[in-house]
Amino acid sequence: MTMDSMRDRFARTITELLDEDPRLALVLAEISRDRLTEAERRHPDRVINVGIREQLLVGAGAGLALTGLRPVVHTFASFLVERPFEQVKLDFGHQGVGGVLVSAGGSYDWPAGGFTHMAPGDVALLDTLDGWTVHVPGHADEAGALLRHAVAAGDDKVYVRLSEQANRDGLDVDGARMLTLREGRDGVVVAVGPMLDSVLAAVEGLDVTVLYATTVRPFDGEALRRAAGDRPDVVIVEPYLAGTSTAAANEALQSVPHRVLGLGVGRRELRRYGDMAEHLSAQGLDPASLRARITGFLPTPATA
Amino acid sequence: MTTTATTTTTPRGPAYGYADLGRLMSLMSGDEKHGPAATSTLDALWVLYDRVLRVSPGAVDAPDRDRFLLSKGHGPMAYYAVLAAKGFLPVDVLPGFGSYESPLGHHPDRVLVPGVEIGSGSLGHGLPLAVGTALGLRAQGLTDPAVWVLVGDAELDEGSNHEAIAYAGPAGLDRLHVLVIDNSSASHARPGGLAARFAAAGWSTVTVDGRDHEALHAAYTAAHPGRPHAVIARVEPKNPAEAR
């Protein structure tokens, strides 16, 4: 059995959902259209490809919402959140309508494509806006489940961040809460979405709690508070811009003295092509680098 | 300020006519007279609301209503005056225009004013929203309602409009209508360029005198089977000294 990518699973799931829900519409700007030909054939009025026009992509998606439909809007993250950011801010937020933005490409899904197709800042940008739910699945199964949550979330504004980077196994995620995968005494490591397998490899033999987050906004502060207890040394490992969730963790832990280390993608443009493994290493996000950074931060590092 | 006491009009017999619009604008501006810039949209809006749009204050959420999207949100006094004249707005909110407690800002907000279909102010958002509105109505089998969007000639500088224009023509969105108020305010433009851009994308276009009510009505109601329709309403130049 070959494993679906998250993007494959998105295409399959949205095709099923379009059959099930007459209120659902899908807006595309050429990207992934080849995977959605069946949906387009079956629902020509609700699967809309606007061409290579991303301002129109987002504006038209919001216009569909103004008529009462639930729009799902999809392209690469750099052209869905960054390029038409003001459309996201005004056409959804200011108009007071909801929709689901589903991105592909992540921070460096196609490293050989270079910086123009990398969007490590997408979640941080959405953090400047009010009311966006952000799902970061770490596996195709989770992508399917979180897409269903997103579509079913009334008129909420929801971002689903798909990536080619994935964990070996999908977990039973609920679209809201973090999962506790391990409990330990020396600190808490929060792994976000596709960073989980690398985090688990990095902390092997360490006495730390590992939380797994696939819904990062709203941030599950309660789970973090509970896990941190009175020893709140927290590392958050995110597949996008380093430190994106540090403020949310600080807010969750404001009643206790605490330390937070935010690991993720740096701002510096590497100007490198290559493959994802090379970029993960260059960002210090491979298991060996993560282990060194985590043990260097925790006050009583265990020796494995 | 309470906004509950309204001077509601009945669907038949509006309380206000075209001749009252200047007075209604004065409630907002404090001025007795208004220059061409403040009234550039006034005649076009009045004819649209008075004789063309199938909308009413009692049915601002009706699925089959026509939609009017004011994309050029700058200088909305004429729009508010028309909405008040047609009973969408109580006249007594007009004097608060722009104040903290007022629903009426210098750019309209759909969340604050019933009957206002979009919040605007940042130029270039209305036409893409109108494209999505037309698509959404069509997808729900609502093929009768017309979607109108008002833009300014200089607003068409914004590239987002051209994404929408270039898409809507080939997509055959024949319930989509654009009303361009052309007061020659674009810094870089060529004569006839506005209509040509729509026509090149397969739109039906008509250019009319934006003060001539009969000409506006004829342009609004012209048949345009299979194509979206653009009405370019020419009014006095915003800066007469620089008029082309």
Sorted by where each starts, the structural domains of chain A and their CATH numbers stand as 6-161 (3.40.50.970), 179-297 (3.40.50.920)
Domain B19-242 matching CATH 3.40.50.1820: the answer reads no
- State ipTM: 0.96
How far does A286 lie from chain B, in Å, by closest CA? 41
pLDDT tens column, B91-111? 999 999 999 999 999 999 999
> Rounded to whole angstroms, what are the CA distances from A172 to A179, A198, A214, A215, A219?
9, 19, 10, 12, 18
Contact, A162 vs A10, CB < 8 A? yes
pLDDT at residue A301 greater than cutoff 60:
no
What does the block give as tokens for B164? 């929408």
In this complex, do B164 and A51 lie within 8 Å of one another by their Cβ atoms? no
In this complex, do B125 and A59 lie within 8 Å of one another by their Cβ atoms? yes
pLDDT tens column, B57-94? 999 999 999 999 999 999 899 999 999 999 999 999 99
In this complex, do B166 and A53 lie within 8 Å of one another by their Cβ atoms? yes
- Taking alpha carbons only, the member of B44, B46, B37, B64 closest to residue B230 is B44
Q: What's the pTM?
A: 0.95
Cα–Cα distance, A116 to A79 (Å, whole number): 10
pLDDT at residue B6 greater than cutoff 70:
no
Q: Considering only the beta carbons, identify the residue of A63, A90, A94 that sits closest to B136.
A: A63
pLDDT tens column, A133-178? 999 999 999 999 999 999 999 999 999 999 999 999 999 999 999 9
pLDDT at residue B132 greater than cutoff 70:
yes
Q: Does B160 touch chain A (CB under 8 A)?
A: yes
In this complex, do B167 and A59 lie within 8 Å of one another by their Cβ atoms? no
Q: Which residues make Cβ contacts (< 8 Å) with residue A220, sequence separation at least 6?
A: A176, A177, A178, A213
In this complex, do B136 and A64 lie within 8 Å of one another by their Cβ atoms? yes
Q: What is the CA B166 to chain-centroid distance, rounded?
A: 21
Mutate to test the interface with B, among A42, A53, A72 (most CBs of B within 10 A): A53
pLDDT at residue A304 greater than cutoff 50:
no
Q: Which residues make Cβ contacts (< 8 Å) with residue A189, sequence separation at least 6?
A: A199, A203, A208, A209, A210, A211, A234, A235, A236, A237, A294
How far does A57 lie from chain B, in Å, by closest CA? 8
Cα–Cα distance, B170 to A144 (Å, whole number): 34
